[in-house]
Amino acid sequence: MENQFKNKGAKAQLASAMILFGTIGIFVRNIDLPSSVIAMVRGFVGALFLFALIKGRNEEISREDIERNKISLIFSGGFLGINWILLFEAFRYTTLASATLVYYLAPIIVIIVSAAFFKESLEPLKVVCVGLALVGMVLVSGLLGNGLVNGTNIKGILFALGAAVFYAAVILVSQRLDSISAYDGTIVQLAMSAVVLVPYTLLTRDFKNLRVGPSSLVSLIIVAIIHTGLAYALYFSALKKLKAQTIALYSYLDPLVAVISSTVILKEQMTLMTLIGGLLILGSTLLSEILDRHKESFV
């Protein structure tokens, strides 16, 4: 009975984290600051939040584990920061639904890169998943409708695709991490994402002319503390108590909430092509996940 209660609590934590991730675009849209500044603040505040959480629990961060994984953590953190910039730019140029759906191509990109560069086997069903996802991306982009005319939308789709590529890079580099806790790794990755973005932001932005209104400031604080620090804390707390299959299924709450937020809250139009494309992308990534879990059960 106690285990069942803990399991329900962990599912609620995971669902809450996914809902927060799915609604971040609403608040980013309300921040009148460059995407690089938003990403930099998000990384710093998120890392400080998780660090304070660890210290509040009287837990120690393993410096040995961090030192052993420092190269992978530096690169994955840098890729994470670039990924955020591109995703936030995508939110500005296309609908929240379209940006999030294209962003979910990241697992498919991992499959393609793993097969092309790391010689991992690509089963026929995985090839089908890749094909369906790519068709889905074309449908979401609007290229078969008025996408070619609407250059702004295409720009947003390309930013989202770039974000997916860099998130795939984060996944691939993170796979090389050796025996480090999720909290330790994420704290360093978030901190590194901010550190890497500092010189870029200083070189490309004139901070003297940046002005932050009350509404933008509140939204920035919410994104940094709630959508980053709290969301990651809930996510990693749930990871320890749930099966991989459950985590994989709940992760699809993120794009689902983003689509609902886009159409219901932001009143953004969603075409039939976008809906079908989104289903193809999410369906293919889910099928790929199921295939991986099925294979692992026989290993």
* Tokens 């159409």, located at residue: 263
Which SS3 state, helix, strand or coil, does residue 178 take? coil
pLDDT at 298: 44
Backbone phi, then psi, for 95, in 5-degree steps?
-70, 155
Question: CA-CA distance, 131 to 134, in Å (whole number)?
Answer: 5
182 close to 73: Cβ distance less than 8 angstroms: no
Q: How many domains does one find in the chain?
A: 1
* Domain span holding position 50: 2-296
pLDDT at 118: 79
18 close to 249: Cβ distance less than 8 angstroms: no
Q: Which residues contact 181 (CB under 8 A, 6 or more apart)?
A: 62, 65
Question: CA-CA distance, 216 to 146, in Å (whole number)?
Answer: 33
Q: Taking the model in full, what pTM does it have?
A: 0.89
pLDDT at 276: 92
Question: CA-CA distance, 60 to 100, in Å (whole number)?
Answer: 35
39 close to 88: Cβ distance less than 8 angstroms: yes
Q: Which of 101, 123, 99 is nearest to 111 (CA)?
A: 123
Question: CA-CA distance, 248 to 174, in Å (whole number)?
Answer: 17
* Tokens 């494309």, located at residue: 277
pLDDT at 99: 93
* Tokens 């991989």, located at residue: 244
Low-confidence ranges of the chain (pLDDT < 70): 1-6, 144-151, 293-299
pLDDT at 68: 93
